Chains A and B, each alone.
Chain A
Amino acid sequence: MKQFKALLTSPAFLIGTSLFVLCLFLSIAYPLITSTDPFARVGYPFEQPSLKYWLGTNAEGQDMLAQILFGLRASMFVGITAGLIATILGTLIGITGGYSGGLLDNILTMATNLLLVIPSLIILILITTSIEKRSLVLVALIIGATTWTWTARAVRAQAASLKNREHVHLAKLNGAGTLSILILQILPYMLSYVFMAFVMQMATGILSEAAISMLGLGPYDTVTLGQILHYAQRTEALINGNWWAFLPATIMVTVIAFSLYLVNTAMEGIFNPRLRK
């Protein structure tokens, strides 16, 4: 409880949370801001920002404001979905290995370490190239299924140290089953860690989407922030100085990543007693 109070008075945590909530709000309330179809050709290519088009138009003559808000929504969806999947997978794998120890732990740790060494972006590239019709949901699923390694590693260490606590032994003596111990005796003690992992996994999810979209392997059925950047790159908006076609999307990705990192850093400072002054 004391830690929770400390969080609520930490400026880094508050700034990070507000920025993220703002992005979330924009992606939910976006139909109230503009009713323009992000895919419709409304103007000439690369029109400068004006009263008519607040953020100008891209090479296709599409309204950039609608594109950005729509893309933000899609990117947030990928971040949250992939983040949830990766956190659940990583927590399951980490807690199982860390608590059970022995051969199972060795196998899981080995798999985790293997996938930590091989860059997850490479695995993402290999999977996405083999699927031509990539939907946004599918991309989110693939990212979630490939980026859980960090969480598994952190959770395993936590679980391994928690399993020797007295209350766990007590529960064992009382004849509690493994599953009930994991859920009632281990998991509650590392919820803050799992939440921190989720924050970082969301950031990883959003950045991974942006990265594979930049490479041209993004979802085909929608617009994401990464795809706006990819398209700006392909239509040479960057070289021609059409800043409205890439700068807002760049800033959006940066703001989301920055806000999540801030939240994580603030939480680490409070929940990791080693760093206290």
Chain B
Amino acid sequence: MTLSPRSRYMFRRVGWYSLTLFVALFLNFMLPRLGPANPIDTIMTKLSSPGMDSQAYLRIYKSYVQEFSLDKPISMQFFTYVGKFLKGDLGVSFTKYPLRVNEIIVNALPWTLALQIPALLLGWIVGNVLGALAAYKRGLFDKGLYPLALFFSSIPYFCFAIVLVFVFAIQLQWFPAMGAYGNDMLPSFSFAFFGSVLTHYTLPFLSLFLILVGGQAIGMRSMAIYELGTDYVGYAKMLGIGEGTIVRYVFRNAMLPQLTGLALSLGMMVGGALITEIVFSYPGIGLTLFTAIRESDYPVIQGCTLLLTLCVLAANFGIDILIGILDPRIKAAQEAGNA
């Protein structure tokens, strides 16, 4: 039985991502244990620090040792860790004992996803359309858009976030400066609550969206300029094919490298967007990490890093599948070894 080239591509991607996941798990497990300040010592020093119920800490310590079989050799510990991960168990928080890390993350993750996914998707689409237009139209539109896009694309997310808070929340007071909804309300299905969520959402969203648009527009513009100079465009023009059709082809061909570029820079974007959450005190994974780091809450820190890596891997996998569907070269069964 021979597989179609497309299925073969998909299988290869699945294999590749399984490996990546394993490496991510391994790094997540090993790296925090390499340094001198490993979690268990931190608990031991806390045990002897004042202001903490030492009985409670002993209980935490015992449950932690038991949960992660810390009295067993390190290879066993890793297998315990992977086994727990596969069951979806990320352990217990140190500082919010007996709260489980899962519960903390489940509360934070939706905010992060709700902020980043729309910003990424819309930013990518708007940026690409603008970039393609600039390449095609040139002239005034390009002259205006290019420097602006260049400027936006080179501002760090969190710097832009700080400026937005300062100008629109503190000086002009058009939008709230922090949080995801008014601190005088509880989440509910009401217009008042949704309105509050929306006003709190605007600035963080803009801080990510505008910068993404800038970066994508710059990338698409150069891709499209290159495509417009290729032989097939000249040929199509000679044949008298309509402009709209040509632009569609150019857009489609320039889009694939843009998709690949998005997949590659996803990790950097997610990292930048995390810090944005801290600036806005937006209750997502970034802020959870910030708090956990300040309290040396290792299980929560590791839970957050692992989950973020998972999200990035999943998004990358999705983009790869999309490329597999869109890229005619994969259909044409090019036996290229560049998996």
Contact = CB atoms under 8 A, between A and B. Distances in A.
B156 A207 contact: yes
A233 B279 contact: yes
B170 A211 contact: no
Contacts of A114: 19-20, 23
Contacts of A121: 267-268, 270-271, 274
A239 B76 CA distance: 48
Given A123-B31, A211-B275, A239-B178, A258 B154 contact: yes
B279 A129 contact: no
A238 B271 contact: no
B156 A253 contact: yes
Chief secondary structure at chain A's binding surface: helix
Considering residues B32, B158, B165, B166, which has the most beta carbons from chain A within 10 angstroms of its beta carbon? B158
A161 to B, nearest CB: 13
B32 A129 contact: yes
A239 B281 CA distance: 10
Considering residues B156, B298, B313, which has the most beta carbons from chain A within 10 angstroms of its beta carbon? B156
B159 A253 contact: yes
Interface in B261-299: 264, 266-268, 270-272, 274-275, 278-279, 289-290, 293-294, 298
B33 interface: yes
A214 B290 CA distance: 8
A254 B155 CA distance: 6
B247 interface: no
Contacts of B301: 125, 129
B305 interface: yes
Nearest to A208: B271
B23 to A, nearest CB: 5
B275 A215 contact: yes
A250 interface: yes
A126 B27 contact: yes
Given A114-B23, A210-B158, A129 B298 contact: yes
Nearest to A12: B150
A265 interface: yes
Nearest to B34: A130
B267 A215 contact: no
A119 B271 contact: yes
Contact of A275 (B222, B275, B294): B222
Interface stretch (B35-43, B47-55, B78-86, B186-194): B35-43
Considering residues B35, B160, B222, which has the most beta carbons from chain A within 10 angstroms of its beta carbon? B35
Contacts of B298: 129
A145 B226 CA distance: 34
Interface in A89-124: 114, 116-123
Interface residues of B, number: 59
Contacts of A125: 289, 293, 301, 305
B225 interface: yes
A253 B272 CA distance: 14
Interface string A129-144: 1111100000000000
A127 interface: yes
A123 B150 contact: no
A261 interface: yes
A233 B32 contact: no
Interface string A158-177: 00000000000000000000
Contacts of A66: none
Closest 8 A/B residue pairs (Cβ)? A130-B35, A121-B271, A119-B267, A261-B154, A126-B31, A132-B37, A131-B35, A254-B159
Interface of A: 114, 116-123, 125-127, 129-133, 207, 210-211, 214-217, 229, 233, 238-239, 241, 243, 246-247, 250-251, 253-254, 257-258, 260-262, 265, 274-275, 277
Given A131-B35, A132-B37, A247-B163, 11 more contacts: A119-B266, A119-B267, A120-B267, A122-B305, A126-B31, A126-B32, A127-B35, A129-B35, A207-B156, A229-B162, A238-B177
11 contacts: A117-B313, A121-B268, A122-B271, A130-B35, A211-B158, A211-B272, A238-B170, A246-B166, A265-B218, A275-B225, A275-B226
